[in-house]
Amino acid sequence: MIVDYHMHLRNGREEIAHDTWSVEPFVDAARAAGVDEIGFTEHGYYFTQLRTLWSEPYQTERCVYDLEPYVDAVVQARERGLPVKLGLEVDYVPGREDETRALLAPYPWDYLLGSVHFIDGLAVDGEPRLVDEVGVERAWGRYFEALARAARSGLFDSLSHPDLVKIFGDRAEAFDYSEIADEVAAAGVAVEVSTAGLRKPVGELYPHPDLLAACRERGVPVTTGSDAHSPDVVGRDFDRARELLRSAGYETVTVFERRQRRQEPLG
């Protein structure tokens, strides 16, 4: 089984297109790429229903869309028997766990991805850059601290691009992944192997092989994702993702259905 569980429902120009017609090009692209099932995971900060969670200008500027059409588009495709799942990529907001849970509760999610894109007004993968403002060592420390908290929150089924902090190619020296792997394992959350990093300055998959191996040792389940913002990116570089998973010792991938998970043989 091959799943691509991280993509954004857009038209071919990466513009928001939360409608039923936009689902099919992703399904067709998945089929062509040999992907068995896809999951849509639009950013939570686009949706007005979640508006009270967002404080970063990057988020609030984009928070102008209704969540219902997005949910309906994916659910209708799911009900028509297309191999699609309903997800959301949710920025973890420390201290707002109960509110996040309550705001997300009304919708029929298959799974929720937890992401750390911002830390105290600084961006992990944008401007102003966390790594520039606090230095690489502290940026890594703070990023993984936030990720551990996101894991422990119990809000999420899987953690997106787990070592996103390396995106620009800066890395902390001799970083020890055992602590974050312990936290993730204790929290019972899955981690995503993402091919998006191959298209970023760092030019690597997320996560680092050492982090994935540490997760494997502790029995942490995995998903795979491309983070596509257009259909042509669905399933991209998944041979590389599979190779990384196999070398870490993984033989199964996680499939989510209405927030229940099961393991399927890795395709």
Residues that bind Zn ion (CB under 5 A): 89, 115, 227
Q: Rounded to the nearest 5 degrees, what angle is found at the Cα of 262, between the Cα atoms of 260 and 267?
A: 135
Q: Which is nearer to Zn ion, 55 or 247 (CB)?
A: 55
* Closest separation in Å from C-beta 89 to Zn ion: 5
* Closest separation in Å from C-beta 113 to Zn ion: 8
Q: What letters, b where the CB count within 10 A reaches 16 and e where it falls short, cover 91-128? A: bbbeebbeebeebbeeeebbbbbbbbbbbeebbbbeee
H helices of the chain, in order, are: 20-33, 57-62, 67-79, 97-104, 130-134, 136-152, 178-187, 209-217, 238-248
Q: Which is nearer to Zn ion, 186 or 223 (CB)?
A: 223
Considering only CA atoms, give the Rg of the chain.
17
* Closest separation in Å from C-beta 122 to Zn ion: 16
Q: Which is nearer to Zn ion, 37 or 89 (CB)?
A: 89
* Closest separation in Å from C-beta 258 to Zn ion: 21
Q: Which is nearer to Zn ion, 218 or 227 (CB)?
A: 227
Burial class (CB in 10 A: 0-12, 13-18, 19+), 192: buried
* Closest separation in Å from C-beta 71 to Zn ion: 17
Q: Which is nearer to Zn ion, 126 or 249 (CB)?
A: 126
Residue 261's CB is within 10 A of a number of other CB atoms, namely 16
Query: What's the rounded Cα separation, in Å, for the pair 73 and 54?
Result: 24
Q: Which is nearer to Zn ion, 41 or 254 (CB)?
A: 41
